[in-house]
Amino acid sequence: MRIDVLTLFPEAFAGPLDVSIIKRAREDGLLDLLLHDVRAFATDKHRSVDDYPFGGGQGMVMRVDVLDRALSDVQEHGSGRGLVVYLSPQGEVLNDRLVRELARKDRLVLVCGRYEGVDERFVKHCVDREVSIGDYILTGGELPAMVLIDAVARHIPGALGDEASPEEESFVGGLLEHPQYTRPAEYKGWTVPEVLLSGHHANIEKWKAEQRLERTKARRPDLLNGRED
């Protein structure tokens, strides 16, 4: 999968995507991540990328012409135009279903806004999906883009290595995960549920299923609406 990112701060992406699973996916050629500086597409002598909002109001708005040039240039390289995603609190909220849908694409182009956001004409004419990572306001779309990249990349076949599969994790089946324990079996008198030490495979699986259901009921009842079982 190829992911292009349009941003005023390409340097913000160094770090989180250079470690662990994402690092290996990039090294193995499973994920091709390209960062593009939107300011390179400004044309005036001050290289401005934003301007005052029509109708007044606080802050600045990113210019449609600069963004459109940046996007067109990026789309002229590589194969296909990609699904263009703009990260914003006005978008549909990212969840496991949307992550899996995006992970099936050959190419994504992620647009990161700063200031009060981008000119709405860019959203209307150039953006395919507007996506939010949650109902709170950040200072820019860079962290949301990194969240999306991380979540999507783990679904690229082979990215998690041979053993692990994203099919065996939380939200598969729409439930939260059961609690996990490892050695030592007792620490400061803090014990591990007996059943997990019993070696009785059927009882263990039954306990895990109960825990998943009970946790979901208690913590995220919203996830239970519209499920089959």
Instruction: Work out how close the CB of 53 gets to ligand 4HQ at its nearest, in angstroms, rounded to a whole number.
Output: 12
Q: Give kind and range of the element (H or E) at residue 191.
A: strand 190-191
Judged by CB under 6 A, the residue of 10, 144, 166, 174 near ligand 4HQ is 144
The piece of 22-30, 41-49, 50-58, 85-93 that touches ligand 4HQ (CB under 6 A) is 85-93
Instruction: Work out how close the CB of 137 gets to ligand 4HQ at its nearest, in angstroms, rounded to a whole number.
Output: 5
89 binds ligand 4HQ (CB under 6 A): yes
Judged by CB under 6 A, the residue of 14, 19, 137, 202 near ligand 4HQ is 137
CA distance 215 to 166: 20
C-beta contacts of 41-46 below 8 A and 24+ residues apart? 41/66, 41/67, 41/69, 41/70, 41/73, 42/66, 43/69
Local structure of residue 163 (DSSP, 8 states): T
88 binds ligand 4HQ (CB under 6 A): yes
For residue 137 the two structure tokens come to 């306001």
Pairing of strands 50-51, 61-62: antiparallel
111 binds ligand 4HQ (CB under 6 A): no
Chain positions contacting ligand 4HQ, by CB under 6 A: 87-89, 113, 117, 132-134, 136-138, 140-141, 144
